[in-house]
Amino acid sequence: MPAHVQIIITDILLSMIVEGDYMTGETLEQFYMRKLPELRRKREVTRKDVAHGVGVTLGKYDKWETGKVLPKAGDVDRLAEYYGISIDEMLEITPEESAAINRQIIADAEHLPLELKENVLGMMRESHPELFGKMTSREALVP
């Protein structure tokens, strides 16, 4: 799957989380202020190790941990990859929330340019075939 497609999907996911009811009780900034140090301590690595592992400066990573700046979609992808967890695990999304979000991503793909739509739907079909039932890939692309 092209990296830009994964980043677009993560970006859609993040915007849905911010706009929806998935982050109850804490802001996204508070979430990262809690989650990033928690992951780092569990793995017993330093902030510098994580920054190097995801390809950002220590200063940028520190801003994520302190909630001064939010990681972008590509950053979240690299953080999840660095820790060897899914983006859903990274963002503490339940299976039910994940299924609802994935259905919305599929529906929102209808509004993308054709090539991008095909890429997004192809990636979603590959990673979540249960959401497509017995449709052929051609049927999934027809509005």
According to the model, what pLDDT value does residue 142 have? 45
Report the number of distinct structural domains present in the chain.
2
Q: Is residue 7 part of a domain?
A: no
Q: Tell me the C-alpha distance between 72 and 14, whole Å.
A: 9
- The pTM assigned to this predicted structure is 0.68
Greatest alpha-carbon pair distance for the chain in Å reads: 48
CATH number assigned to the domain comprising residue 48? 1.10.260.40
According to the model, what pLDDT value does residue 70 have? 86
Look at the block and give the residue holding tokens 């220590």.
58
According to the model, what pLDDT value does residue 39 have? 95
Q: Is residue 6 part of a domain?
A: no
Whole-angstrom CA distances from 56 to 8, 31, 70, 72, 113 are: 20, 20, 13, 12, 31
How many of the other CB atoms lie within 10 Å of CB of 13? Answer: 22
Q: Which of 48, 63, 90 is the last residue of a domain?
A: 90
Q: Is residue 18 part of a domain?
A: no
Q: Is residue 12 part of a domain?
A: no
Phi, psi of 59 (to 5 degrees): -60, -40
User: Do residues 79 and 51 both lie within one domain?
Assistant: yes
- Domain coverage including residue 99: 95-141
User: Do residues 82 and 99 both lie within one domain?
Assistant: no
Please give the single-letter amino acid code of residue 40. R
Q: In a structure prediction context, what are the per-residue pLDDT tens digits for the chain, which is 143 residues long?
A: 455 555 566 666 666 655 555 544 567 788 888 899 999 999 999 999 999 999 999 999 999 999 888 888 888 889 999 999 988 888 888 888 777 777 887 888 788 788 878 887 887 788 777 777 654 444 444 44
Q: Is residue 71 part of a domain?
A: yes
According to the model, what pLDDT value does residue 136 have? 46
Helix (H, G, I), strand (E, B) or coil at 82: helix
